[in-house]
Structure 1
Amino acid sequence: MKLDEFDFDLPEELIAQTPLLDRSSSRLLAVNKETGALNDSVFKNITDYMSRGDVLVLNDTKVLPARLFGEKEDTGAKIEMLLLKPVEEAYEVLIRPAKRVKEGTRVSFGHGKLTAVCTAVFDEGIRHVKLEHEGILENVLDELGSMPLPPYIKETLDDNDRYQTVYAKETGSAAAPTAGLHFTDELLDEIKSAGVDVVTITLHVGLGTFRPVSADTIEEHKMHSEYYTVSKEAAERLNRAKSEGRQIISVGTTSTRTLETVVRDYGEFVEASGFTDIFIYPGFQYRAVDTLITNFHLPKSSLVMLVSAFTGRDNIMNAYRHAVEENYRFFSFGDAMIIYGGQTDGN
């Protein structure tokens, strides 16, 4: 398939720059997976698309304030660094400008409170660095770092917690699983009270979120790997739901990629952890997820391809045209979509 098939026109003013004061007051576009029929709603009405016994799957990853600004120790040149993930005894990072950082380069942050020593050089601005600091790294980052907001967000975030889900727990992401930003504690309590089983898994969001699809033929695109964990308890609850014909509702593309990876690799939900580079695009057969809650994604992105695989490209392009016409808010701090109807058979 050609990359241009996943392009669409988006007025710049529809790109949400700040989160809403009330997370659950964002708009919700409901898309029938089978027919493509659309319904405009509000996110706090999400329970209209859930039934008692359904399983809601949340990604409980927590974003590190992993965007750092420092300078080379030898020249004082300004360097921006984004922590992506730990690799053996080092950290994989994204460096700008990358040409200034070679193997052996030392970059200082916070007047030496944190020092990054480059140990390996890769393409696309990727470096491996050894981090030198006193105390716990998370505490150092809380002091020196800022939230790694996507480049299309130009406004400053006043409260870092607004780029975290209310259920964020496991630290390790370079970006938020943004479909989950619409939930409040009160809404989750309402969902549980309605008899919906809420299950958490973990996928630490990494470079794949920031990397555009550049190949003209999408099958040639390669995803970066991201670390995931599914507990024994979560796997058992998910398998039980599947065997009883109950709906698996995945919150976000990160939860979706994790669930589909596990079922692809093991044939069912199991306790598992590891790295996934699964790339989901039209033609992919979903086996784990029955309903998908997601945001509106960038043109030509792997995320648009993932949702197109779930309900069909024509349905998604029609839904996106409707969202533009109705002035929905797009991307990380924008409105939401639920794609529902029909159950994945798991075979």
Structure 2
Amino acid sequence: MDVSHFDFHLPDELIAQTPLKERSGSRLMVLHRRDGRIEHRQFPDWLEYVRPGDVWVVNDTRVRPARLIGIKEETGAQVELLLLNPLGEGRWEALVKPAKRVKEGTVISFGNGLLRATAQETTDVAGGRVFRLEHGEEDLEPLLSRLGEMPLPPYIRERLDEPERYQTVYSKEVGSAAAPTAGLHFTPQLLAEAKKRGVHIAPITLHVGLGTFRPVTVERVEDHRMHAEFFEVSEETARIIQKAQMSGNRVCAVGTTSVRTLESVAREHGEVVACKGWTDIFIHPGFSFQVVDALLTNFHLPRSTLLMLISAFATREEVLKAYREAVQERYRFFSFGDAMLIV
């Protein structure tokens, strides 16, 4: 299938640059897969679509302030580093800008030498390289909290005054380079009300990296290769999902990262079991879903793997029709934008 089949026109002014004042203040488009019907609601109306016995699976990853601005010790030139995945023994996979000016052996200093990164081999990702980090006796995570910035997507050009607004209210496990943005709409009050209605909120972890947001540069969808991301499913979450499926209740995913985790595990083990590992699953039209019955997501980039995933869950025609209507109705797009529920 040609990647151009997932293109659509999106006016720049519909790309949300800042979060709304209230987390749950966004709009909610509801797409019914059975008949293609579209409803225009507000996000708190999500509660009207949940059912007693539902399991809503959320990604509890927490964004690491992994964007670092430093200088090359040799020349004093400014360099930007975005830490992606820890490789062990102080080595990290990262994106570096400007990539062409950072060679193997280059040492970059951050915070007047509190953190130093030595460039090692390149990776198969454009701008990607492995770095060895040195940070003395201080632990890395608190150091990153002081020296690092929130790695906002490139289409967000406004400064984020409250970094916590780029974290979900249930974020827990530090490790992502980007937020699982479908969950940004939830408040503790909404989740508490859902639980009162007999809904189970079950966490999984997928640390969002390049696999979720890497652009598709090939012409054929089938030729794209995803970048692997780490995931973990707990014993409790696996048990809750297994029980729901045995009882005929729905398993619903908050965000495409939850979908990819659940479907990866089911494809590997035949059902959702407690496990952890790395997934490079690429879900596009033609994929057979084994677990997910409903999906809450945001509005995604043209030609993106995220748009391809939801086009597999509904149909490409229904999704693109809904997107055209979203543009016409002036929905807000991408990370800080409005939400879409596919049932």
Q: Flag whether TM exceeds 0.5 (same fold).
A: yes
DSSP 3-state at the match of 1:51: coil
- 1:10-21 matches, within 5 Å, as 10-21=10-21
Question: What amino acid is the match of 1:112?
Answer: G
Q: Distance in 2 between matches of 1:107 and 1:293?
A: 41
Give matches, 1:63-212, under 5 Å: 63-89=63-89, 90-123=91-124, 124-134=126-136, 135-212=138-215
Q: Give the letter for the 2:51 counterpart.
A: S
The Cα shift of 1:19 comes to 0.3
Runs of 4+ in 1 over 4 A off after TM superposition: none
**Cα shift at 1:317:** 0.2
**Cα deviation per residue 1:291-346 (whole Å; 9 max; x = unaligned)?**
00000000000000000000000000000001000000000000000000xxxxxx
The CA deviation string for residues 59-114 of structure 1, in whole angstroms up to 9 with x for no partner, is 00000010011111001111110000101321100001111112111000111111
Alignment: residue pair count: 340
Q: Contact 2:84–2:94 at 8 Å: present in 1 too?
A: yes
1:257 aligns with 2:260: yes
Quick one: distance in 2 between partners of 1:23 and 1:73?
Answer: 42
Structure 1 residues 247-303: Cα deviation after superposition (integer angstroms, max 9, x where no partner): 111000000000000000000111110000000000001111000000000000000
RMSD of Structure 2 on Structure 1 (CA)? 0.8
Distance 1:338 1:122 in 2: 37
Amino acid at match of 2:132: K
Report matched runs for 1:319-334 at 5 Å. 319-334=322-337
- In structure 2, the residue matched to 1:275 is 278
Corresponding residue for residue 33 of structure 2: 33
Query: What residue is the counterpart of 1:43 in the other structure?
Result: 43
Q: Matches of 1:154 and 1:209 in 2, distance apart? A: 20
What stretches of structure 1 of length at least 5 have no aligned partner?
341-347
Displacement of 1:210 in angstroms is 3.4
Q: Quote the sequence identity (%).
A: 56
Distance 2:148 2:88 in 1: 22
Task: Give the secondary-structure state (helix, strand or coil) at the position aligned to 2:290.
Answer: coil
Partner of 1:324, secondary structure, is: helix
Shift of 1:208: 2.0
TM-score under structure 2 length normalisation: 0.98
Letter in 2 for 1:248: V
Q: Secondary structure at the match of 1:157?
A: coil
- The CA distance in 2 between the partners of 1:168 and 1:80, in whole Å, is 26
**Aligned residue number for residue 343 of structure 1:** none
Structure 2 Cα separation of the partners of residues 262 and 208 of structure 1 = 17
Which AA in structure 2 matches 1:302?
Answer: T
SS in 2 for 1:286: coil
| Structure 1 CA distance for aligned equivalents of residues 101 and 156 of structure 2 | 26
CA distance in 2, matches of 1:269, 1:6: 30
Deviation at 1:183, TM superposition (A): 0.2
CA–CA separation in structure 2 for the residues paired with 1:105 and 1:191: 52
Q: What code does the residue aligned with 1:300 have? A: R
| Letter of the 1:120 counterpart | E
Q: Equivalent residue of 1:142, what SS? A: helix
Do the aligned partners of 1:62 and 1:168 also contact (CA within 8 Å) in 2?
Answer: yes
CA distance in 1 between counterparts of 2:157 and 2:150 reads 13
Structure 2 Cα separation of the partners of residues 152 and 321 of structure 1: 20
CA contact (8 A) 2:213 2:304 kept: no
Gaps of 5+ in 2: none
Q: Secondary structure at the match of 2:178?
A: coil
Is the 2:284–2:305 contact (alpha carbons within 8 Å) kept by the matching residues of 1?
Answer: yes
SS of match in other structure, 2:51: coil
SS of residue matched to 1:249: strand
Match of 2:226 in 1: 223
Looking at structure 1, the residues matched to 288 and 271 of structure 2 have their Cα atoms a distance apart, in angstroms, of 14
Q: Which moved more, 1:98-107 or 1:173-182?
A: 98-107
